[in-house]
Chain A
């Protein structure tokens, strides 16, 4: 549901019970995110890559999202090595030098970001909206929180669609991006319109739901039914997360 086109499929991953995928994703992400050394994130990254392959997601879509995440990571690489205090590893440039600690930190963040990215992509993005809502409730996420999450997502899409429509309308009427006052004024107007229209549209989406009998509970079309494959899958995910934790502890011992 995070990604509509990715949620459609019949792969080994898509067939897993959404509840189990949600829990597996939480376990793996936690193992990667909480680690202080590189071992656990590397392990989870490997697991995420394998899952992404198994999910047979369209490579173009995966690549686009991969680039988006790593563009953000690239910004960190610009700043972190220079600003983290520690042993310099490059010549000083205007009093700034990249430090070993900074490079290590940036590497670790890169690993973690990509590990979590591939897990979310293969495990969560492959769950259709209603099923993810249902799965969140089934694993004990409070209703309010599950709704907040679903609606945030739903309206993010509304906003990006709205922007797309307005940008098209502007292009149709001969607008060409440029660095001119006219172009900046147009962009400012587009952003203002996006906010107004997205608000309006989100209200209408809510009306549409109410019209069709929505009374505060999402019901999923696919009832949940776990089989042995799901249990095996969760055990493997748990094992990977625990192995990540164990590696982390071992590397700590090594340091002390």
Chain B
């Protein structure tokens, strides 16, 4: 197997001022061609895990390695963040600039693209997500779903090697959700997706983990039998695409 992109060993994390460890001696290896689905009850530590991997939170114990070398300092994690794009659970937290175009171009500019290239990149990414013409719109006036798409555009515009998506389909309509499935399939990049949307997880990922009591549990036969959903077709005969 090729070298893992990211590896955690014995990682412990407790939020300051709380007693219960959210991550407890957790081990995890994320390979360069894996598509991981992460699920689990609210508050089980999924978001915390991604934030530790990106260096937004520092583990109390244990090690994070990025492409084989230890990631400890802020500088080490800068490389992680160039390589991996994290879509935050809450789009309001992700959007920085007043206008959509400035916001999407922010990452590419930080990566050293010229203003011209950054603008082209931002516009191309917006149109990939069906947001052509959104450039001049004010970000705080967007609908919830539009904000989610713009924050995704901000991540994709950086051309990351891998994507970590924290509940990417929250608040999206079925068509937009399908579009994201198609885009992720097209990109063919390694993924970690946190979602409570089983259909979506099955469509974009192939390995499943859950977090229980601060440990990551591999779930070899994913809980397809728990798959329950409702839609306008009701019990009429129909097909699911997957």
**Interface set of A (CB-CB < 8 Å, partner B):** 1, 4-5, 7-8, 128-130, 154, 161, 201, 204-205, 207-215, 219-223
Question: Contact at B102–A221, with CB atoms within 8 Å?
Answer: yes
Residues of A within 8 A of B116 (CB): 223
For the complex, give the distance between the alpha carbons of A5 and B140 in Å: 11
B88 to chain A: closest residue by CB: A208
Centre residue among B90, B115, B140 by max chain A CB count within 10 A: B115
Q: When the two chains form their complex, are residues A161 and B78 in contact, meaning their CB atoms are under 8 A apart? A: no
Apart from A8-B136, A209-B96, A221-B109, what 15 extra A-B contacts exist at CB < 8 Å?
Answer: A4-B99, A130-B106, A204-B90, A205-B96, A208-B88, A210-B81, A212-B81, A212-B154, A212-B158, A214-B110, A215-B110, A219-B118, A221-B102, A223-B114, A223-B116
Q: B138 near A: Cβ within 8 Å?
A: yes
Task: With A208-B93, A211-B56, A212-B158 as known contacts, state yes or no: A219 contacts B98, CB within 8 Å.
Answer: no
Q: Contact at A207–B102, with CB atoms within 8 Å?
A: no
- Is there an interface contact between B99 and A128, defined as CB atoms closer than 8 Å? yes
Residue of B nearest to A217 (CB): B110
A223 to B138, CA, bound (A): 21
Whether A213 and B107, one on each chain, are in contact in the complex, defined by CB atoms closer than 8 angstroms, is yes
Asked if B170 is at the interface of the complex by the 8 Å CB criterion, the answer is: no
Shortest A165–chain B CB gap in Å is 10
B interface, size bucket: 35 or more
B interface with A by C-beta (< 8 Å):
54, 56, 78, 81-82, 85-86, 88, 90, 93-99, 101-102, 105-107, 109-111, 114-116, 118-119, 136, 138, 140, 154-155, 158
Complex: A154 Cα to B154 Cα, angstroms: 19
| Chain B binding surface, main DSSP class | helix
**Known A4-B98, A129-B97: A210·B56 in contact at CB below 8 Å:** yes
Q: Report chain A residues within 8 Å CB of B106.
A: 130, 209, 212, 214
B54: chain A residues within 8 A (beta carbon): 211
A211 touching B111, Cβ below 8 Å: no
Contact of B93 among A205, A210, A215, A219 (CB under 8 A): A205
* B138, A4: Cβ atoms closer than 8 Å: yes
CB of A190, distance to nearest CB on chain B (Å): 19
Are A130 and B154 within 8 A (Cβ)? no
The docked-state distance in angstroms from the alpha carbon of A207 to that of B99 is 19
How far, in angstroms, from A62 to B97 measured CA to CA in the complex? 22
Q: Which 3 A-B pairs have the closest CB atoms?
A: A213-B110, A212-B107, A219-B109
A-B contact pairs, 18 of them (CB 8 A): A4-B98, A5-B138, A8-B136, A128-B98, A128-B102, A130-B97, A154-B96, A201-B93, A205-B96, A211-B86, A212-B107, A213-B78, A215-B78, A219-B110, A221-B109, A221-B115, A222-B115, A223-B114
Chain B residues within 8 Å of A154, by CB: 96
Question: Cβ of A204 and Cβ of B98 under 8 Å apart?
Answer: no
Q: Which residues from chain A contact B105 at a C-beta distance below 8 Å?
A: 221
Alpha-carbon distance between A10 and B78 when the two chains are bound, in angstroms? 37
B144 to chain A, nearest CB (A): 13
